Chains A and B, each alone.
Chain A
Amino acid sequence: MVRRLLAVSVLVLMTASAHAAAPSSEISGLFLTTRYPALTVRAGETTTLDLALHNYKLPPQSLMLSVPEVAAGWKATILGGGQPVGAVEVAPNNEEDLQLRLEPPASAAQGDYHFTVEARNANYDQKLPITVTVGKQVPARLKLTTDFPALRGTSSTDFKYKVTVTNDSGHDATINLAANAPKNFQVTFTQAYETQQIASIPIKAGQSKDIDAAVALPHQIPAGTYKLVLHAKTDVTGADLPLTLTVLGQPQLAVTGEGGRLSGEAYAGQSSQLTIVLRNDGSEAAHDVKLSASTPEGWKSSFDPKYVPQIAPGGRQSVKMTLTPSERAIAGDYQMTVTGDGDNGLTDSANFRITVMTSTLWGAIGIAIIAIALLVVVFAVARFGRR
Chain B
Amino acid sequence: MPPTRRRGGSPWTGLGAVVAKETADYLSSARIYILEGLVFLTALTAAYMAIRTIRATIGESPFLFLRLLTLSQDPLPSFIGLLGFLIPLVAIALAFDAINGEFNRRTMSRILAQPIYRDGLLLGKFLAGLLALTIGLISLWLLVLGLGLLLFGVPPNTEEALRMFGFLVATVAYGGVWLALALLFSVLFRAPATAALAALGAWLLFALFWSMIAPLVAGMIAGPPEGIFGPRLEYLQAMQIIDRLSPNTLYAEAALALLHPATRALGPIFISQLQGALIGAPLPVSQSFLLIWPQLTGLIAGMIVIFAIAYIAFQRQEIRA
Question: Which residues in A have some Cβ–Cβ distance to B below 8 Å?
Answer: 295-299, 326, 328-336, 353, 355, 357-358, 360, 362-363, 365-367, 369-370, 372-374, 376-377, 380-381, 383-387
A330 contacts which chain B residues (CB < 8 A)? 264-265, 269, 273-274, 277
Q: List 27 A-B contacts (CB under 8 A).
A: A296-B275, A296-B276, A331-B264, A332-B264, A332-B277, A333-B281, A336-B276, A353-B281, A357-B287, A358-B290, A362-B290, A362-B294, A365-B294, A366-B297, A370-B300, A370-B304, A373-B300, A374-B304, A380-B312, A381-B11, A384-B315, A385-B7, A385-B118, A385-B119, A385-B315, A386-B10, A387-B118
Interface residues of B toward A: which range?
35 or more
Complex Cα distance, B116 from A385, in Å, reads 12
Complex Cα distance, B264 from A367, in Å, reads 22
* Complex contact B301–A363 (CB within 8 A): no
Cβ of B316 within 8 Å of any chain A Cβ, yes or no, is: yes
- What does the 1/0 interface line of B269-309 toward A look like (CB < 8 Å)? 11011111110010110110011011011101100110110
* Complex contact B287–A332 (CB within 8 A): yes
* Complex contact A331–B290 (CB within 8 A): yes
| Among A297, A374, A377, A380, contact of B275 (Cβ-Cβ < 8 Å) | A297
Complex Cα distance, B290 from A363, in Å, reads 6
A373 touching B276 in the complex, CB below 8 Å, given contacts A385-B7, A385-B117, A387-B117 = no
* Complex contact B273–A329 (CB within 8 A): yes
Task: With CB as the reference atom, state the residue of chain B lying closest to A331.
Answer: B287
Cβ of B311 within 8 Å of any chain A Cβ, yes or no, is: yes
Shortest CB-to-CB span from B288 to chain A, Å, is 8
Shortest CB-to-CB span from B107 to chain A, Å, is 17
Complex Cα distance, B283 from A385, in Å, reads 45
| Among B275, B298, B316, contact of A384 (Cβ-Cβ < 8 Å) | B316
| Among A358, A362, A363, A376, contact of B308 (Cβ-Cβ < 8 Å) | A376
* Complex contact B277–A386 (CB within 8 A): no
Shortest CB-to-CB span from A365 to chain B, Å, is 8
A297 contacts which chain B residues (CB < 8 A)? 272, 275-276
Shortest CB-to-CB span from A127 to chain B, Å, is 87
**9 closest Cβ pairs, A-B complex:** A296-B276, A366-B297, A384-B315, A373-B304, A333-B281, A332-B264, A333-B278, A331-B287, A373-B301
Complex Cα distance, B10 from A334, in Å, reads 55
Question: Which residues in B have some Cβ–Cβ distance to A below 8 Å?
Answer: 3, 7-11, 117-119, 264-265, 269-270, 272-278, 281, 283-284, 286-287, 290-291, 293-294, 296-298, 300-301, 304-305, 307-308, 311-312, 315-316
A383 contacts which chain B residues (CB < 8 A)? 3
Complex Cα distance, B288 from A363, in Å, reads 12
* Complex contact A363–B293 (CB within 8 A): yes
Task: With CB as the reference atom, state the residue of chain A lying closest to B286.
Answer: A357
Task: With CB as the reference atom, state the residue of chain B lying closest to A374.
Answer: B304
B10 contacts which chain A residues (CB < 8 A)? 386
Complex Cα distance, B298 from A353, in Å, reads 33
* Complex contact A331–B315 (CB within 8 A): no
Complex Cα distance, B283 from A386, in Å, reads 48
* Complex contact B277–A296 (CB within 8 A): yes
B305 contacts which chain A residues (CB < 8 A)? 373, 376
B300 contacts which chain A residues (CB < 8 A)? 370, 373
* Complex contact B9–A384 (CB within 8 A): no
Shortest CB-to-CB span from B189 to chain A, Å, is 20
Complex Cα distance, B15 from A5, in Å, reads 119
* Complex contact B276–A335 (CB within 8 A): yes
* Complex contact A332–B276 (CB within 8 A): no
* Complex contact B315–A387 (CB within 8 A): yes
Complex Cα distance, B283 from A358, in Å, reads 11
A328 touching B293 in the complex, CB below 8 Å, given contacts A369-B301, A380-B315 = no
B264 contacts which chain A residues (CB < 8 A)? 330-332
Complex Cα distance, B308 from A377, in Å, reads 5
Shortest CB-to-CB span from A284 to chain B, Å, is 35
Shortest CB-to-CB span from B7 to chain A, Å, is 4
* Complex contact B273–A328 (CB within 8 A): yes
A370 contacts which chain B residues (CB < 8 A)? 297, 300-301, 304
* Complex contact A358–B296 (CB within 8 A): no
Complex Cα distance, B80 from A193, in Å, reads 68
A334 touching B277 in the complex, CB below 8 Å, given contacts A370-B301, A372-B301, A384-B316 = yes
Complex Cα distance, B312 from A383, in Å, reads 9
B312 contacts which chain A residues (CB < 8 A)? 380, 384
Shortest CB-to-CB span from A14 to chain B, Å, is 89
Complex Cα distance, B315 from A380, in Å, reads 9
Complex Cα distance, B120 from A385, in Å, reads 10
Task: With CB as the reference atom, state the residue of chain B lying closest to A369.
Answer: B301
B274 contacts which chain A residues (CB < 8 A)? 330
Complex Cα distance, B192 from A369, in Å, reads 32
Complex Cα distance, B291 from A329, in Å, reads 13
A328 contacts which chain B residues (CB < 8 A)? 270, 272-273
A332 touching B281 in the complex, CB below 8 Å, given contacts A295-B276, A362-B293, A385-B11 = yes
* Complex contact A360–B270 (CB within 8 A): no
Shortest CB-to-CB span from B299 to chain A, Å, is 10
A332 touching B304 in the complex, CB below 8 Å, given contacts A367-B297, A384-B316 = no
Complex Cα distance, B305 from A295, in Å, reads 45
